[in-house]
Amino acid sequence: MDRFWSNFYGKPYKQPSFKEPLDYDLTLYRCVYDICLVTKVSPDLIFSRSKKREAVRPRFMVFYLLSSISGVSNSKIAITFNIDVSSVWHGVQQVKKSLEEKNWALQMLKDLEHA
Please report the sign of the dihedral spanned by the C-alpha atoms of residue 115, residue 85, residue 56, residue 50.
Answer: negative
- Count of the separate structural domains present in the chain: 1
Residue 15 is assigned to a structural domain of this protein: no
**Res 70: pLDDT:** 81
Count of C-beta atoms within a 10 Å radius of residue 46: 22
Structural domain including 108 reads 21-114
DSSP 16: P
Which residues have CB under 8 Å from 91's CB, separation 6+?
56, 59, 60, 63, 64
Digit-coded pLDDT (tens) for 22-45: 577 778 888 888 899 999 999 999
Residue 36 is assigned to a structural domain of this protein: yes
Residue 64 is assigned to a structural domain of this protein: yes
Residue 95 is assigned to a structural domain of this protein: yes
Q: What is the CATH number of the domain that holds 42?
A: 1.10.1750.10
Digit-coded pLDDT (tens) for 59-115: 999 999 999 888 888 999 998 899 999 999 999 999 999 999 988 888 888 888 876
Which among 14, 13, 22 has a CA at the least distance from the CA of 72? Answer: 22
- pTM comes to 0.76
R_g of the chain, CA atoms, integer Å:
17
**Res 20: pLDDT:** 47
Rounded distance, CA 36 to CA 112, Å?
A: 10
Residue 100 is assigned to a structural domain of this protein: yes
Digit-coded pLDDT (tens) for 73-82: 899 999 889 9
Residue 40 is assigned to a structural domain of this protein: yes
**Res 10: pLDDT:** 52
